[in-house]
Structure 1
Amino acid sequence: MSIEVLKRGLLTTVQDMGRTGYGKYGVSTSGAMDGYAYKLANWLVGNPGSEAVLELTWSGFSLRFLQDSLVSITGADLSPECGGIAVPMWRPVLFREGSELAFRRPVSGSRSYLAISGGIDVPVVMGSRSTYIRAGIGGLNGRALESGDILHAGKSGRIAEFSSACHQKDASFQAVRWSAAPRRSYIQASQVVRVTRGRQFADFRSESIDQFYQGVYAVKPESDRMGFRLSGPSLALEAPKEYISEGVVSGTVQVPADGQPIILMADRQTLGGYPKIAQVAMVDLPRIAQLAPGGSLRFLEITPSESERLYMQQVQAMRALQCMVNCKLKEGFHDED
């Protein structure tokens, strides 16, 4: 299977679960910003869950399928259309050879994930296919996709299964009726983000801590895959202090000299010297990833044990969801009229 990029869009990259074990060399983990949407996109097309997908930021991206392709779209609603007809999300969709898929405008969220059965086949660099633009590695030549690029997918038996069962032979695409969309949307313009205390939490003034939890912060336009810069109540230390740089992870909330927090994201640096006031619970990282510039958030403190409990609940729920998706995939289009 192959696809041709017709319009590059604002920012479209190849991402998987990210590369691990190279932080000591200064190499970022990278990977999909919204891990929930990423995993579900893969499961919906029969991929185990670690294959490379396309991460689309905002709108303007379009492509042409050069062969029949089984695809799923999850995450942000960027108005996917094929031949002027809206393409349903959160489910398997079979596109016929020559069909064109375009993403018109963002309705909700900011990052959409497009998975193809078999996964996007690009070279593995340091154990991952993820694009890390700042270092120029991974993905397609270490860069965002450009118009005219050709991408290939790995082999998959799902295409033949769905294609043979497709009742609408002349249609550009056909989608199953069932959907794996979340019952409660996590893609909203305003979010409550749960955090635990950071390593330098006690170094901040008590009034700054109160402002951190009571204030509302807006996502600044300068935000990107490296970090989300926020605008809101200014935070200050009890006394000026210099810190030795130490390891940081996705969700670390740093506070630079201007007092405005920065939430580190997938393409973060591996070390940070700014004081860390908080750490975002892993289950809430997808909520942040879907915030667009101008979106807002509030911080809610929880305990480390609560953060762990929420994570384990999510793991169990995702396992159950994967099993249900696998069962539905066996039906193909046979449940259609």
Structure 2
Amino acid sequence: MIEILDTAPLSSVQDLGRAPYLRYGVSCSGVMDQLALRTGNALLGNAENLACIEIQAFPCRIRFRTARAFALTGADCAATLDGLPLPPWWAAPAREGAELTLSAPRRGSRAYLTVAGGIDVPSVLGSRSTQFRGSFGGHEGRWLQSGDLLPAGATADATVMAPGFGAEPPETAFPADWAHFDLQPNTTSVRVLPAGEYGLFTEESQRRFWDTAWKITGQSNRAGFRLAGQPLEFAQRIEMRSHGIVPGVVQVPPSGEPIIQLSDAHTAGGYPKIGTVIEADLWRLAQAPLGSRLRFVPVTYRAALDALRQGDAWIAALRRLAEQYRSLCSSGRAP
């Protein structure tokens, strides 16, 4: 059992979402940073899609009402367990009554708490994710608040012995020569495929789309990031019927300033699409702070698929290493 002692709004229970229901007009929901959730579950030996707590506002304090192994991934929040510091991207045991504290992120935006057995709330439409627009899923279909009690699922064996072990943060595990813009302060680069209406923009606007360091405005949230910069222009006026959209799609409304659709986005929209952030880089968006800047880097479809495979291989290797560590722990041979 996990008790929420103190939290600002916006934290919630999430898993990998309910993408199969997009066709019925139900948004994906799910974690913003899937890589962080998959990593936490791999460290603990959980099934990949077990639910976690996504923490978006700080500080946050959580008590373990029962002893339980846990993992903390995503943003580096200077976490402490009973006052002792925890490294980021780390799995460790918590005794009964232990308190976990997360402060404002030193790097990143969202932290993810996974526990052995997962957060065991009811599954709705194949997912335990909170769907805020419909007020269902997660914990009572709402943000978490002080006093909430969250049950943890049963687990056969997800032992993590002190001092625990962890994973290399993905920003260093995936060095990328294409992300040279990240060398600029407060800037994140993401790879983008041109989308269906890319050719409807003027050549100057196409160049500006790639060359601009777009600012993530305060009007951004789990539904999407609204960007600020010199507006993009169409070669001619166009009107479109609403059509299906998915997380990562970059739409351009009449204002000319792009909007990136994210986990809680509507399932359809009529704004022209200039690009799509590749699935393998959505975690980079999730960790980009409000007020920071984004650069779009063109990529081929083949390279986008290669990036997905690279992430899957990294998670698989991490899961194998975690299994070996737990085996050593159970045999008393762990370092």
* TM-score of the aligned structures, taking structure 2 as reference length: 0.92
Structure 1 position 181 matched with structure 2 position 168: yes
Letter in 2 for 1:88: P
C-alpha deviation, 1:311, in angstroms: 1.7
Instruction: Give runs of aligned pairs for residues 118-129 of structure 1, distance below 5 A.
Output: 118-129=117-128
Letter in 1 for 2:45: G
Instruction: Give runs of aligned pairs for residues 258-277 of structure 1, distance below 5 A.
Output: 258-277=255-274
C-alpha deviation, 1:206, in angstroms: 0.7
C-alpha RMSD over aligned residues: 1.8
Structure 2 residue aligned with 1:169: none
Structure 2 residue aligned with 1:139: 138
Residue among 315, 320, 325 paired with 1:328: 325
SS at structure 2 position matched to 1:158: coil
Q: Deviations over 1:260-292 (max 9, x none)?
A: 101111111100100000011111110011011
Q: Kindly tell me: are residues 260 and 115 of structure 1, through their superposed partners in 2, closer, same or farther at Cα, counting changes over 3 Å?
A: same
SS at structure 2 position matched to 1:213: helix
- The share of aligned pairs that are identical, in percent, is 37
CA distance in 2, matches of 1:20, 1:192: 25
C-alpha deviation, 1:321, in angstroms: 2.3
Residue among 252, 270, 285 paired with 2:282: 285
SS at structure 2 position matched to 1:286: helix
Instruction: Give runs of aligned pairs for residues 31-110 of structure 1, distance below 5 A.
Output: 31-110=30-109
- Aligned residue pairs total 324
Letter in 2 for 1:220: T
Maintained 8 Å contact 1:130/1:138? yes
CA distance in 2, matches of 1:146, 1:52: 17
C-alpha deviation, 1:332, in angstroms: 2.8
Structure 2 residue aligned with 1:305: 302
C-alpha deviation, 1:232, in angstroms: 1.4
SS at structure 1 position matched to 2:37: helix
CA distance in 2, matches of 1:148, 1:184: 34
Letter in 2 for 1:114: L
Maintained 8 Å contact 1:9/1:62? no
Maintained 8 Å contact 1:190/1:297? yes
SS at structure 1 position matched to 2:114: strand
Q: Deviations over 1:62-103 (max 9, x none)?
A: 111111010000010112112322122323211111111111
CA distance in 2, matches of 1:151, 1:207: 52
C-alpha deviation, 1:257, in angstroms: 0.7
Instruction: Give runs of aligned pairs for residues 135-174 of structure 1, distance below 5 A.
Output: 135-158=134-157, 161-162=159-160, 174=162
CA distance in 2, matches of 1:256, 1:237: 11
* TM-score of the aligned structures, taking structure 1 as reference length: 0.91
C-alpha deviation, 1:336, in angstroms: 5.9
Residue among 215, 219, 223 paired with 2:216: 219
SS at structure 1 position matched to 2:221: coil
CA distance in 2, matches of 1:218, 1:332: 47
C-alpha deviation, 1:105, in angstroms: 1.7
Structure 2 residue runs of 5 or longer lacking an equivalent are 176-181
CA distance in 2, matches of 1:62, 1:210: 46
